[in-house]
């Protein structure tokens, strides 16, 4: 949206509706691992990577029929704010810290504006879909408390 790029090319996942025969396809066991890793503080993306690399689950959705975040919500283990919103807020916090030390860095000041714009757009989407509170707003002075 804010760059000259024409998009990203890359490979796509193979189309299949069932997990491979060699994979771990025990739904109950995978849900227990997901909850345990979430309790340890792992993000949804890192949980998927750990399941792929250590437990032989190439795609959690094929086994459980839902995403990792949906599984956690169903089991009552939701983490509060969505993961993508939190990562963008962490990026904004790093930019704010950088700009406090380097006040004349106009390029990163622009990047902070773009980052905050993306936070506002995402939060509007999540408010409309009832994934965050309807009165939640982004405030730069309270950002450090929300992220940490």
Q: What are phi and psi of 36, to 5 degrees?
A: -65, -45
30-33 — which CB contacts under 8 Å span 24+ positions? 30/55, 30/57, 30/60, 30/63, 30/64, 31/64, 31/71, 31/75
Q: What are phi and psi of 93, to 5 degrees?
A: -65, -40
* pLDDT over threshold 90, residue 117: yes
pLDDT in tens, 16-70: 888 888 888 788 999 999 999 999 989 889 999 999 999 989 889 998 999 998 8
Distances (CA, A) of 9 to 2, 45, 85, 141: 18, 21, 24, 38
Distances (CA, A) of 81 to 6, 11, 38, 88, 131: 30, 29, 14, 11, 8
CATH number, domain 83-147, options 3.30.2270.10, 1.10.600.10, 3.30.413.10, 1.10.287.10: 1.10.287.10
Q: Residues 48, 82, 142, 121: is their CA dihedral positive or negative?
A: positive
Per-residue confidence band for 147, with pLDDT thresholds at 50, 70 and 90: confident
pLDDT in tens, 64-111: 999 998 899 888 877 778 889 999 999 999 999 999 999 999 999 999
**DSSP reduced 3-state for 67:** coil
Average pLDDT, the chain: 89
Would you state the pLDDT for residue 11?
Answer: 82
Domain extents in the chain: 27-74, 83-147
Would you state the pLDDT for residue 105?
Answer: 95
CB-based contact 126:82 (threshold 8 Å): yes
* pLDDT over threshold 80, residue 113: yes
Higher pLDDT, 13 or 35: 35
How much is the average pLDDT of 126-132?
90
In the chain, what's the furthest Cα-to-Cα distance? 57
Would you state the pLDDT for residue 145?
Answer: 87
Q: How many residues does the chain have?
A: 148
């Amino acid at each position: 949206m804010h760059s000259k790029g024409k998009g990203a090319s890359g490979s796509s996942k193979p189309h299949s509706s069932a997990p491979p025969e060699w994979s771990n396809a025990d739904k109950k066991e995978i849900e227990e691992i997901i909850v345990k890793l979430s309790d340890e503080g792992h993000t949804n993306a890192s949980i998927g990577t750990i399941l792929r690399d250590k437990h032989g689950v190439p795609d959690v959705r094929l086994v459980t029929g839902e995403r990792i975040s949906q599984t956690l919500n169903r089991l009552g283990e939701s983490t509060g704010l969505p993961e993508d919103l939190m990562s963008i807020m962490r990026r904004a916090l790093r930019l704010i810290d950088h700009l406090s030390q380097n006040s004349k860095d106009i390029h990163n000041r622009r990047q902070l504006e773009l980052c905050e714009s993306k936070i506002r757009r995402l939060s509007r989407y999540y408010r409309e879909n009832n994934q965050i509170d309807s009165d939640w707003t982004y405030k730069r002075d309270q950002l450090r408390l929300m992220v940490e």
